[in-house]
Structure formats: C-alpha cells, structure tokens
Amino acid sequence: MHLITLLSDFGLNNAYVSQMKGVIASIAPMATCVDISHTVSPQQVRIGSFLLSSSVDFFPKGTIHVAVVDPGVGTMRRGIVVVTPKQVFVGPDNGLLINAAKKQGHFDVYEITNDSLFNTTISQTFHGRDIFAPVAAHIARGVSFEHIGKKINDYHVLETSRPRINGDIVEADVEFIDDFGNIITNLSAITFHSFIRFEKTCKIKIKRKKITVPFVSTYGHCPLNETLITTGSAGFIEIAINQGNAAKIYDLSIGDSVTFDFTQEKKMEQNKDVKIGKNTDEEKSLEFKDGI
C-alpha cells in the first residue's frame, strides 16, 4: 500500500480536491490518500511550506506528498519531483517543497516533463489535478524518477528568515497563525531554552506594546485569558492566550516581528549564582574555626 498526502489552498467548498483524489484512484487504486490541509491561505506559498515541513516527520517512509499552492500555474514555472531517502514530494517549482525535503537530508530534484504521465486533457489552471496528481499516482505504481524527467539543480528555494540575536535580545518573525489564534514564531524551542527555563518570565515587545509573559509548558498552566509563551507542537515558540485569540488581541499577522528580551532574567540568574558561590563573613569565620 502506498500513502499519498495532499496539501493545497483549494478550500473545501468545491470539487477540486475530490477530482485530484479521483485521478489518483484511477491510476493507482491501491494508494491511500490523506489530507494534510486544503485551507492554506490562497496563494500563500510560505504558509504551505510551513505546514508541509511541520507534517512530514509524522508520515512513514515511502510517503508521496502532493502539495499545490501554485499562484504561477499555467506560466513558465516548472513542475518538480523531489526525492529524499525517506519520502517523495510532487508539486510546483516555487519553493513550496524544498524546506520539507531539507529536513530529510540529501535530496534530488527532477523536472516533470514526460507528458505521457499527465491527464489526456490538461487545464492551464489546474495542474494539481492534471499533472501533479497523476505523476504521484504513477510514482506509487513504480515509475522511475528518470522516466519523469531530467535531474535539475536550479530549483527555486524560498528565502527563509531567521531570528536575529543580539546578546540577550532576540527578534523573531511570525511564521504561522493557527485557527486558535496562537502565534507561531520562527524561534526554535532549542534556542529559546538556551535563554530561559519553564516557569520563568520574559519581556516581549509586540508592535508598541511591552509585556512580561510567563514561559509555561502548556496553555492551561496560565490563568484564563492571560498571555503566555510555550513550545508548540512543531518545535517553535508560540505566543498564545489561554482560551483566547492572541493574534487578534495583538493585531499580529504572518511576517510581523516580535522581540524577546531576556536581559532581566539573565541578571537574576547571574545574581543568584553570585549569592550561591559567595560566602558571608559569618560563614568564613565558621570555616576558619572548623579548620583549627
């Protein structure tokens, strides 16, 4: 059995997704289709890339991912197949697939050119159904990647932003906002933990607002309707409100920046270390007497 996932910005109020599944079933009836998401914001390749990248680790080896967030459909942009040691990715050459592939180590990219693998009739506005879905189905049936097209090295890569670290000040970008209004940043939990531990507080600046927020292990460890920082399921730092919509309250959108200020927490830790490592005059006197 082969597993084929589908991710798109097609929405759920039309027949687009079902048509892709129908094409796959016609070519590879033994394949099972699983939906990652079809509610990616229209034309937002970066959001689609984030959702795909945060999902692939939870699928077995051999999974074929078809991802279609494709504002350049019908133009000169190419279709590609990306092959890693673990999984295969099929979709447009607009950066959508590459970040997910990078997570799995070395990868090869093939341009989709063999039109014998396409649907008989090809719509210039729906390559998801007429090119990417049938190619994925043929891969599930065992077609070689060399039969799909030539290997290329000039594929498109999305420009990705990284947190800007200046001493104990970290500026991160909003990478994604989920349906709960939780603000997912591009700051990894590993980096964040190098500055602060759970149950400590951190000052953050959101636009013109400066607030002190607790770093907790989950939403329910903060009072109702209070702002918190936590490690999200994708391994990135989230700003959230317990049972509230943080993105709406703070008027944040994808691409906006948030500043984390660890200066005060670092000073407190340093002072604590000094106190622990420094004996009082009375303690020194006792040590001297004990040594007689």
What average pLDDT does the segment 103-120 reach? 96
What pLDDT, in 10s, does the model give residues 65-98? 999 999 999 999 999 999 999 999 999 999 999 9
Residues 107 and 264: their CA atoms lie apart, in Å, by 44
d(CA 38, CA 51) in angstroms, rounded, equals 11
Topology of the domain covering 3-152: Rossmann fold (3.40.50)
The CATH superfamily holding the domain 164-276 is Bacterial fluorinating enzyme like (2.40.30.90)
Model's pTM, two decimal places?
0.86
Angle between helices 133-140 and 16-27 (to 10 degrees): 30
- CATH 3.40.50.10790 region(s) of the chain? 3-152
User: pLDDT-based confidence at 139, cuts 50/70/90?
Assistant: very high
Q: Are 31 and 1 in contact (CB under 8 A)?
A: yes
CATH 2.40.30.90 spans which residues of the chain?
164-276
Q: Is the pLDDT of residue 279 over 90?
A: no
Predicted confidence (pLDDT) per residue in 13-44, tens digit: 999 999 999 999 999 999 999 999 999 999 99
Closest CA to 261 of 183, 184, 165: 165
- Pair 132, 23: CB distance under 8 Å: no
CA distance 253 to 101: 26
